[in-house]
Amino acid sequence: MGLFIVTLVAEGHLSQGDAALASDAIRGLGAEPGPLAWIDAGDALDIAVSGSDAPALRAALEAALPMVDVIVQPAAAPRRKRLIIADMDSTMIQCECIDELADYAGLKAEVAAVTEAAMRGELDFEAALDARVALLRGMDATVIDRCREERVRLMPGAATLVRTMAGDGARTILISGGFTAFARPVAAAIGFGEVHANVLEIADGRLAGTVARPIVDAAAKRATLLGAGVPLDACLGVGDGANDIPMLEAAGLGIAYHAKPKASAAADAAVRHGDLTVLLRAQGWRRGEWATD
């Protein structure tokens, strides 16, 4: 049992009725809600809660408010985090780059099926990566730039989230099991200060069908977080797949973003409806304080 901050987010749709339902759900656990504190009226609010635990609060509130994003975190932790470490594909961008690249070779369905299984945690990440990249052997390397320009779109709220945190002095790390050819331009566009990703090997202007070692996998993501030199309770991690789970579990606040079930279950919170600015609401940021492009 402890003291927690519950943040409810539903931009433009959060009502006093939702707040009342949340308070009833909290009392139903035998806990006691404190006074409501609106971050921005109609968008996001905080409720201090004592006498329960985080998993029970999250489960009860997600059930009571199925259209509202719920973040539960210890009140004693630093509210505004000093580091954000984020996955790229389907988290900071709206696609899986390897699937889109495979589409240019007429192999999207085959590769996407392997990607989906790996993201659900049903396949070893390294073996699945090798198998998919091998299918791209011989592709003209210029297709990478074409794919990035034609297919890669930033996730709504990505730049606002990262630039707001960076402007407040936070360290910002993009870490991807995808490829540097995509991750470096994406990191620059969003405003990340640091990027880690895998290297597609190229020979004579064509993809060699291999990935340079060592690869960025689940263990590397966790190790990068742990080695960042920031107290863990001041770290925010965000991702969507099985290979993000160790990173999400290690972060002081691990958030699964429109994620696969295993990642959602492992994280401290799951964003199910809103965009990436929900992560700013979790840190108490008012809209008027957000960075603008």
Residues labelled catalytic: 87, 89
Given the structure tokens 């960025």, which residue do they identify?
216
Q: Rounded to whole angstroms, how far apart are CA atoms 7 and 182? A: 33
Amino acid at 197: A
Q: Tell me whether the omega of the peptide bond preceding residue 214 falls within 30 degrees of 0, making it cis.
A: yes
Question: Do residues 136 and 207 lie in contact, with contact meaning Cβ atoms separated by under 8 Å?
Answer: yes
Token pair listed for 281: 């609401």
In Å, the largest CA–CA distance within the chain is: 67
Q: Rounded to whole angstroms, how far apart are CA atoms 169 and 191? A: 13
Do the strands 200-203 and 194-198 form a parallel or antiparallel pair, or are they unpaired?
unpaired
